[in-house]
């Protein structure tokens, strides 16, 4: 069963703009399924997962290019970066848009070669797992805190309760889990981890000890929705701090985790500058931490962190699916005032707090006031052109309806993302 992907229009637009389209994302996120679905008649398909084809691509890329002429879809391009200079020569000669469609699961090995070989010739699309809108068959749009747009959207979406939401959080977002005959959850994630460690980590990241990296993954999973401390990660994993930083970059480049940068400028001088970590697939995160069911996860001590990471990933995906770079930050200062998510767009900051509660009160928006100096023009002096407005805020929670907290801030049900 094919679930229509919200990113389809962005993929087709980029294919009409660039000679090379690269769709990247974690394993099993549906990259190949998406492109084969969108491919026009006559586009060849070849996968570098096939060892014989991979050997030809690596050892004789010129012969490969003669055998697989455009338009062509080349799957798992990271296994043969030797092809990239030849693709560059081909598109420079033909000048045709959309000739080469590429997929790649692992960006850490590939992006340097892509950026150097195909600069100005490649459009890149990042595809993650299914969004809530895609699962429910609802039209996707970039998340906004604008109450008018949220009011219009509330008539289109499906209302969901706490158990429904945590069922999705525990299950995760990989498309295979939403097939008509899905695999067993534990079997799927066990196979997923084994493939990731043996194929991607061992072959592409040159990590010598797979079990040490697996242990590191579980330690990172336990810190989802928390600020990154490389010394703590290194100590708990029994590795050096530089290795912890390198391995975390592998997870982020694999699109399994995201580092959210803090928002700061010369006015918010007391803002801390440590990024926050979010695991992007909460189902994989729950598997790594051995949670046995959605019910135990919801009742457990980490339920708030899982809920926050799930909300972040949904907002993050809403931008990726529109072909946009997610303009997402967070805020924390030395007084320990935190704002979970900030959307920064057109010189306006939109604060978002995430609470796993049905009716959080005004206390939930108290930290929004930390941003007030941003609106005071006199604070900027000669830098007045950098003044930032504070837009409407949201507390994303388990409320049953879209409700105002005050004139500027609203309670937003999690199922409305």
> pLDDT tens track of the chain, all 417 residues?
789 999 999 999 999 999 999 999 998 999 999 999 999 889 999 999 999 999 999 999 999 999 999 999 999 998 898 999 999 999 999 999 999 999 987 655 555 666 667 888 999 999 999 999 999 999 999 999 999 999 999 989 989 999 999 999 999 999 999 999 999 999 999 999 998 888 777 665 567 678 899 999 999 999 999 999 999 999 999 999 999 998 999 899 889 999 999 987 766 666 678 999 999 999 999 999 999 999 999 999 999 999 999 999 999 999 999 999 999 999 998 888 999 999 999 889 999 999 999 999 899 999 999 888 776 655 555 555 567 889 999 999 999 999 999 999 999 999 999
Token digits of residue 125: 């699309």
- Proportion of the chain in helix, strand, coil states, percent, rounded to 5: 45, 15, 35
Residue (of 270, 291, 274) closest to 333 by Cα position? 270
Burial class (CB in 10 A: 0-12, 13-18, 19+), 195: middle
C-alpha–C-alpha distance, residues 91 and 235, integer Å = 48
Query: For helices 303-320 and 162-171, what crossing angle results, to 10°?
Result: 70
Burial class (CB in 10 A: 0-12, 13-18, 19+), 197: middle
DSSP letters, 354-379, are E-SSSS--GGGGGGGGGGGGGG-HHH
Residue 38 contacts residue 14 (beta carbons within 8 Å): no
Residue 131 contacts residue 140 (beta carbons within 8 Å): yes
Cis peptide before 18 (omega within 30 of 0): no
């Amino acid at each position: 069963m094919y679930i229509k992907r919200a990113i389809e229009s962005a993929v087709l637009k980029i294919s009409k703009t660039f000679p090379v389209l690269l769709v990247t994302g974690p394993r099993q996120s549906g990259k190949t399924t998406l492109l084969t679905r969108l491919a026009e008649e006559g586009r060849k398909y070849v996968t570098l997962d096939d060892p014989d084809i991979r050997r030809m691509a690596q050892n004789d890329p010129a012969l490969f290019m003669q055998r697989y002429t455009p338009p062509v879809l080349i799957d798992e391009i990271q296994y043969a970066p030797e092809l990239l200079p030849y693709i560059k020569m081909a598109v420079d000669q033909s000048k045709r848009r959309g000739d080469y469609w590429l997929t790649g699961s692992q960006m850490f090995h590939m992006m340097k070669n892509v950026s150097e070989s195909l600069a100005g010739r490649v459009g890149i699309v990042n595809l993650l797992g299914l969004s809530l809108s895609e699962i429910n068959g609802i039209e996707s749009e970039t998340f906004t805190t604008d109450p008018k747009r949220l009011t219009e959207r509330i008539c289109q979406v499906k209302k969901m309760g706490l158990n429904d939401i945590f069922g999705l959080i525990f299950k995760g977002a990989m498309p295979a889990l939403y097939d008509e005959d899905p695999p067993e959850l534990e079997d799927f994630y066990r196979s997923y981890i084994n493939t990731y460690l043996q194929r991607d980590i061992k072959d592409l990241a040159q990590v010598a000890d797979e079990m040490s990296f697996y242990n590191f993954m579980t330690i990172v999973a336990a810190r989802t929705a928390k600020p990154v401390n490389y010394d703590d990660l290194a100590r708990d994993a029994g590795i050096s701090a530089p290795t912890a930083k390198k391995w975390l970059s592998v997870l982020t480049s694999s699109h399994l985790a995201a580092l959210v940068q803090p928002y700061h400028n010369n006015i918010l001088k007391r803002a801390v500058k440590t990024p926050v970590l979010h695991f992007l697939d909460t189902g994989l995160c729950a598997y790594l931490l051995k949670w046995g069911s959605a019910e135990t996860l919801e009742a457990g001590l980490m339920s708030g962190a899982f809920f926050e990471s799930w909300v972040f990933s949904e907002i993050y995906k809403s931008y990726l699916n529109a072909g946009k770079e997610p303009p997402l930050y967070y805020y924390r200062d030395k007084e320990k005032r935190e704002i979970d998510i900030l959307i920064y767009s057109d010189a306006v900051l939109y604060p978002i707090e995430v609470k796993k509660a049905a009716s959080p009160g005004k206390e939930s928006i108290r930290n929004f006031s930390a941003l007030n100096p941003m609106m005071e023009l006199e604070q900027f002096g000669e830098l007045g052109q950098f003044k930032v407005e504070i837009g409407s805020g949201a507390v994303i929670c388990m409320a049953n309806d879209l409700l105002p907290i005050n004139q500027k801030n609203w309670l937003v049900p999690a199922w409305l993302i």
